[in-house]
Amino acid sequence: MATVQARVSATGMDLDEIVSAAIATACHVDRSHLTPASHLVDLGLDSMSLLSIIVQIREYASFELNDAGMARLFECATLGEVVAYLRGLTGEPSR
């Protein structure tokens, strides 16, 4: 768990920023318009976009998602839910 936090910290960005940047890129939206309450479906996020986001996030934070973990990630409805779920994987406290 410490490895994940160290890699996230080394980027100078926190997990919220990393996820927001990845979602903005995948959905072709301005990151400044995203909030924790932003609904992923409203942003045009589909399963392929979500996989792209996971790849981008993994560049900054190491975590493993088994089939159950992937299924849970696909259940997240908002940006905030994605961040909270990933925080749980990394051991980073919720905000």
Q: pLDDT tens digits for 44-73?
A: 888 888 888 888 887 776 667 777 887 888
Burial code (b: 16+ CB inside 10 Å, e: under 16) for 53-64 equals bbebbeebbebe
Q: What is the pTM (predicted TM-score) of this model?
A: 0.77
Q: Which CATH number is associated with domain 2-90?
A: 1.10.1200.10
Within its chain, how far is the Cα of 49 from the centroid? 12
**Closest Cα partner for 22 from 59, 72, 68?**
59
Q: How far apart are CA 7 and CA 74, in angstroms?
A: 24
Residue 26 amino acid letter: A
Q: pLDDT tens digits for 5-56?
A: 444 555 556 888 888 989 998 889 999 999 999 999 999 888 888 888 888 8
Q: How far apart are CA 4 and CA 8, in angstroms?
A: 6
